[in-house]
Structure 1
Amino acid sequence: MPRWLRITLLIVSSTTLVLVAVALIAVHLLLQPERITAMLQAQARSAGLELSLASPATPALFPRPALELEGITLSAQNANMPILLAARGSLALPWRTLVHGETVISQMQIDSPRVDLDALQSWFAGLPSGPAAVPKTIPRIDAGVHVTRGTLVRGNQLLLGDVELKSGRLAPEHGFWLTMSGKDPKGTPTELRLSLTPNIKGGALQLDNIELHLTHSTALTLALKGNARWRGAADASARLSGKLDHADAGVYDTDITLTPADESSPLMLALKLDGPNNHADLHLPPLALINWWSELDHDDGPRLAVPPVNGQAQIAQIDAGEISIEGLTIRAGADAPAPASTATPPAKPSPVKPVTPRTSP
């Protein structure tokens, strides 16, 4: 190889390396991973959560600007059980971030997350009642969220595996969609489709035009429509109505109402179900309902304790794993029968006079 060619190649390669180094330094300075990480941690802290990473976020330039996250842990403050564990994640940013420096996430990817429902319930139960600060703006995610190989657990019990989640663009007053699929411990497929329009108005997060469609195997389908409001912490309200279609039991009119917490009452869920062989009109804390249902198929055996509930229900049959209940009737709270000590005693029967048989003369 001629000497001049070797020198030219050396200059070109050196220049390329310098340009790449300069680009990486510029990307690091412009993306400011420490600032974005601190921003995410501050947002989590304002919700009573702690976000930590196994190593500092690292910037990437190709195929587009991004921040790579390793060892993601999301926990409630002062809690022992993490709500979410993920091997890795990525926050993709638009190219304009390098020019304008604005923090806009174009896509969020999470690989192999593990969500613990017990930890989530503990965090939610610890939220103070009454209004709290609501974000002034809805965070923009232009290309949505993509979750792969996720799991949903309750302690050591697997609830849903092989979870795949995709969502569309998240922006104020823009239609948002989400799809999720997974399999229960027996391999039965479950699929969820959700669409809504988010907005912040009057200090409240509004979710309008909600459409929810849930299928479990080919036997159960739930379709609901409605609206919801969130004013911070446990100050939430919602109204959803639609149909529950069970292949073996028929079609049921379904109505769900969420009432916000106040100084004397927790967040309350009202559930009305009306159809063949099953009728329910119940009021109970929503997380207690989830816990009660999961206890029917507990690893250590069925636990049939009824959670705090007010209302009544007549259910022909419940099948949960290997547990089957028939002819279940629930009356609790104001609709429960009066205690024996306060009930009106039954009237004593009148004495019966003996009858003397008549004899012939």
Structure 2
Amino acid sequence: MRRWLRVTLLSAAAVVAVVVATAVISLYVMLQPSRFTAMLQSQAAEAGLQLNLASPASPTLFPRPALELQGLTLSARGATMPILLAARGRLQLPWRALLGNETVISRLEIDSPRVDLDALQDWIAALPPRPEEAPPEIPRIDAGVHITRGSVVRGNQMLLSDVSLDAGSLISGQPFPLSLSAKGADGTPLQMRLSATPRVKGDALQLNDIALHFSQGAIMTLQLSGQARWHGAADASLSLAGTLDHADAGSYNTSFVLTPANDVDPLLLAVKLDGPENHADLRIPPIALADWWSQLDHPQGPRLSVPPGSGQAQIANLDIGGMNVEGLTIQTGVEPEPPAASEKATTTKAAGGKSTKKP
């Protein structure tokens, strides 16, 4: 009886082993991990990037077909510093992928990615210029994206930590949702939710029904809605309006209007802020502002100059580090209008401002 039981158990174990081995082999044959890996590497190469894995992709079947990726490295071609490092990745696949007829990814999940902004900016700067006559295109992304425990750095400086991101499919004519949460360098929680409907109309890319929500802990909340249009290069326009709520300063009506460049004027961003004791009406050239900002981080030391733009701002109270500034008035790029007689004393006092050290 014992001999018969041992033979039965051994036979059953052998059958199970054969079934498992057959299932694993069939899974590799049906999913063909190499074709998905080759597809990712080919798409990266088209953008001037190199994608490497620490080990070959391994397939799983339950709860749904997927490929597990270990040790992802994404670098610009010929660069020494990677743009992205990630511990793990997972490609979720539709069941029809088992038939081997389509190389389709339904969802991309990345765990613990580390993005270096310096390496990313170097790659963007090295991209070939886009032909002016080429119409804008939406970079179609059929797969949803899910990122957990990410970080954004600049060299050795941590900018964002504990980054989580969820994004849907990016397809023309369909709403695109995106949500992001992170912690700033000082540990302050940040959250952003964005939704918009991208569409190519004629030779222009449009973003309709934009809804943006951004919050910085319990201190500040910004909500905007509107639309945008891009025709290529500096031919871009944007109109967003909404409210900014600050825990200490109150609620403000806020608007951002971007007007395209022409033969005379550059691309220009108009920023307006109206609320209790604070007002701003500024016109800023974004491209010139980016150049000015880059000079603050110049390798040979910061190069200080007046930031580009024009307009005015009246700020009742401003905290900058350990300094508290009261009654600040800023006027740049335009000649100030002469104040009315009844307002002259008040305006003169505000223009000088008063600063005190915080206790």
TM surpasses 0.5: yes
Residue pairs, 1:258-269, within 5 angstroms: 259=260
**Residue number in structure 2 paired with 1:277:** 279
- List runs of 5+ in structure 1 lacking aligned partners: 338-361
Listed one character per residue, the Cα deviations across residues 47-91 of structure 1 (whole Å, up to 9, x for unaligned) are 333322222222222332211111212223333332221111111
Aligned to 1:95: 95
Judged with a 3 Å threshold, the aligned counterparts in structure 2 of structure 1 residues 23 and 318 are, in CA distance, closer, same or farther, namely farther
Q: Are the equivalent residues in 2 in contact too, given 1:31–1:101 (CA < 8 A)?
A: no
Please show how residues 183-194 of structure 1 align to structure 2 within 5 Å: 183-194=183-194
Amino acid at match of 1:218: A
> Contact between 1:60 and 1:68, CA under 8 Å: does it hold in 2?
yes
Task: Quickly say closer, same or farther: Cα 1:137–1:189, change in 2 above 3 A.
Answer: closer
* C-alpha RMSD of the superposition: 3.9
CA distance in 2, matches of 1:83, 1:28: 30
Gaps of 5+ in 2: 337-359
For the residues of structure 1 that align with 2:30 and 2:288, how far apart are their CA atoms?
44
| Residues 136 and 112 (structure 1), Cα distance of their counterparts in 2 relative to 1, 3 Å cut | closer
Q: Return the alpha-carbon distance in structure 2 between the equivalents of residues 123 and 307 of structure 1.
A: 29
Contact 1:288 1:308 in 2 (8 A): no
The structure having more radius of gyration, on CA atoms, is: 1
**1: distance between equivalents of 2:161 and 2:255?**
28
TM-score, normalized by length of structure 1? 0.74
**Which residue of structure 2 aligns with residue 305 of structure 1?**
304
1:106–1:140 contact (8 Å) kept in structure 2: yes
Task: Give yes or no for contact 1:136–1:203 (8 Å, CA) kept in 2.
Answer: no
Q: Secondary structure at the match of 1:97?
A: helix
Partner of residue 219, structure 2: 219
**Distance (Å, rounded) in 2 between the aligned partners of 1:182 and 1:157:** 16
C-alpha distance in structure 2 between counterparts of 1:254 and 1:37, whole Å: 45
Structure 1 residues 172, 187: closer, same or farther in 2, change over 3 A? same
Alpha carbons of structure 1 residues 76 and 21: separation in structure 2 relative to 1, 3 Å: same
How many pairs are equivalent?
Answer: 326
Q: Name the SS of the counterpart of 1:212 in structure 2.
A: strand
Structural mapping, 1:143-158, within 5 Å: 144-158=144-158
Which residue in the other structure is 2:77 paired with? 77
Distance 1:222 1:193 in 2: 11
Q: Is the 8 A contact 2:57 2:67 kept in 1?
A: yes
Q: Give SS of 2:13's match.
A: helix
Q: Does structure 2 retain, via aligned residues, the 8 Å contact 1:212–1:224?
A: yes
Q: Structure 1 residue 117: deviation in Å?
A: 2.2
What do the CA deviations read for 1:85-137 (whole angstroms, capped 9, x no partner)?
A: 11111111122210253122222211111112222233333332435697788
Higher relative contact order (CA 8 A, sep 6+): 1
3-state SS in 2 of match to 1:113? strand
1:249 Cα deviation from its structure 2 partner = 4.0
Match of 2:141 in 1: 139
1:241 & 1:47 partners in 2: Cα distance?
A: 31
For residue 138 of structure 1, report the CA deviation from its aligned partner.
2.4
* 1:151-230 correspondence to structure 2 within 5 Å: 151-199=151-199, 206-228=206-228
Deviation, structure 1 residue 184: 1.4
One-letter amino acid matched to 1:103: T
Supply the distance in 2 between the matched residues of 1:318 and 1:289 (Cα, whole angstroms): 26
CA contact (8 A) 1:292 1:307 kept: no
CA separation in 2, counterparts of 1:254 and 1:199? 23
For 2:63, the aligned partner's letter is P
Do the aligned partners of residues 257 and 13 (structure 1) sit closer, same or farther apart at CA in structure 2, a change above 3 Å counting? Answer: farther
Name the stretch that deviates more: 188-197 or 203-212.
203-212
- Partner residue of 1:111? 111
Select between 125-134 and 210-219 the one with higher mean Cα deviation. 125-134
Match of 1:277, as an amino acid?
A: H
SS in 1 for 2:83: strand
- Taking structure 2 as the reference length, the TM-score comes to 0.74
Paired with 2:119 and 2:183, the residues of 1 have a C-alpha distance of: 21
CA contact (8 A) 1:110 1:147 kept: yes
Query: Separation in 2 of the partners of 1:13 and 1:133?
Result: 62
Distance 1:283 1:222 in 2: 22
> Hey, what's the Cα distance between the residues in 2 that align with 1:33 and 1:294?
47
Are the structure 2 counterparts of residues 59 and 118 from structure 1 closer, same or farther at C-alpha, using a change threshold of 3 Å?
Answer: same
Rounded to whole Å, the distance in 2 between the matches of 1:315 and 1:63 is 58
What does 1:348-359 align with in structure 2 at a 5 Å threshold?
none
In the TM superposition, residue 323 of structure 1 has moved relative to its aligned partner by 7.0
Instruction: For residue 254 of structure 1, report the CA deviation from its aligned partner.
Output: 1.8
